[in-house]
A and B are shown apart, each in its own frame.
Chain A
């Protein structure tokens, strides 16, 4: 599982950071930064939460 984050779409709401702090961060302009783009199985549920809670649709998961 890999995380894709579209930094042009992100509106900086920070929901992802609150949902999965070890996976997402925000830069100084609040735009999402992915800290680990291949989260481990133990992080899967929080990452799925983060994707579901992202209000802008900036985050997606791809299988690879």
Chain B
């Protein structure tokens, strides 16, 4: 077991799965009370239908109930942060952004995604086995895709990547990570200022050309930072954990590698099975109400266990088995309702390029250490691996 008692319960995992107590909570009469990482208590929601009910109703359940984050620079950290706002403010911001994330727009990025993926596979191949798939592939690919989105100039990309990896590096002290986060925000400020004076063809440039008058500088910085935070570690951990899960199921791996039509459904199954986001933003209950017929009180915080919901036998047959050939099971790995992942079409496109390219480049891909020695890390917002040693 890879858990320690200090990690809030909804973040504790037994390898890919939520810990047994969290799975068992689906059958309990009451919603368990848990401690969150902020030290407050919350009720844990684990059934698929209940999680959809809460996420699907922004009128009864608010994203604005959390204490504001400390802001050393006195700046409003919520500006532009979709996840920290409720409708109608959320609706205004989200409408400005969705046009940049349509399936069609994302398809136009696909050739660049393919180049980025291929460059990293070339480098791995040239260096030869063994390799750490997390640092050689899973982390840099999504980070560079975000550089494309934001129009980060090539000269700045090495620094950008170092910062975005350090920002999520758990071996650094909190203080150090805070410092990197401040640097990252300062860089986003420069990027926004540059794009405002000469908007490019990237998403940030388009946003400024099309909606420059509707968005403040802080909002643009907030949006750019949110895209980095929400889009980097999530996709990176899907690539790392997803590869590990497939290596454990060689028939399924071969199916994804050899059948182009198998890729899209396999990605949905990996999203469901891995549910890398433990829970979204905790929702606060506005007025006394019920969830799935059971009472919750005004002011209570609700933590939604996405992995437990995605393994609810009421929603999916044999939910604890990975089966990339199953008829697509609806899942909440991207959330649900108005905050449903804005980047979902992009994340899907990245995975649809990266998984088959990796598996085809190295048909002999294998774990470089015994499975028991693979280090999972779940103490952050996103479940993942510290490293994934592989050979081929």
Contacts and interface: CB of A to CB of B under 8 A. Distances in A.
A11 B96 CA distance: 11
A39 interface: no
B94 A15 contact: no
A57 to B, nearest CB: 6
Contacts of B292: none
A5 to B, nearest CB: 15
Q: Is the interface of A mostly helix, strand, loop or mixed?
A: loop
A1 interface: no
B196 interface: no
B316 to A, nearest CB: 12
Given A12-B102, A55-B340, A18 B264 contact: yes
A30 B91 CA distance: 13
B98 A12 contact: yes
A9 to B, nearest CB: 9
B245 to A, nearest CB: 22
Given A13-B341, A53-B330, A30 B56 contact: no
Given A17-B103, A18-B348, A11 B98 contact: yes
Given A26-B104, A29-B98, A55-B337, A13 B328 contact: no
Contacts of A55: 56, 334-338, 340
A30 B99 contact: yes
Interface string A2-19: 000000000111110111
A55 B338 CA distance: 7
A58 to B, nearest CB: 11
Contacts of A26: 102-104
Interface residues of A, number: 19
B174 to A, nearest CB: 34
A28 interface: yes
B101 interface: yes
Contacts, number: 59
Given A14-B345, A57-B56, A28 B340 contact: no
Contacts of A31: 98
A16 B340 CA distance: 13
Given A13-B344, A14-B102, A29 B334 contact: no
Q: Is the interface of B mostly helix, strand, loop or mixed?
A: helix
Nearest to A51: B330
A50 to B, nearest CB: 10
A56 interface: yes
Interface string B321-334: 00000001010001
Contact of B98 (A18, A30, A57): A30
Contacts of A49: 328, 330
A36 B228 CA distance: 37
A18 B337 CA distance: 17
Contacts of A56: 337-338, 340
Contacts of B104: 26
Contacts of B103: 14, 17-18, 26
B182 to A, nearest CB: 32
B108 interface: no
Contacts of A18: 103, 264, 345, 348
Contact of B99 (A17, A19, A29): A29
B95 interface: yes
Interface string B96-122: 001101111000000000000000000
Interface of A: 11-15, 17-19, 26, 28-31, 49, 52-53, 55-57
Q: Pick the 8 closest A-B CB pairs, nearest first.
A: A55-B340, A12-B98, A30-B98, A14-B103, A17-B103, A30-B102, A26-B102, A52-B330
Given A17-B102, A28-B102, 4 more contacts: A14-B344, A17-B103, A55-B337, A55-B340
Interface of B: 56, 94-95, 98-99, 101-104, 264, 328, 330, 334-338, 340-342, 344-345, 348
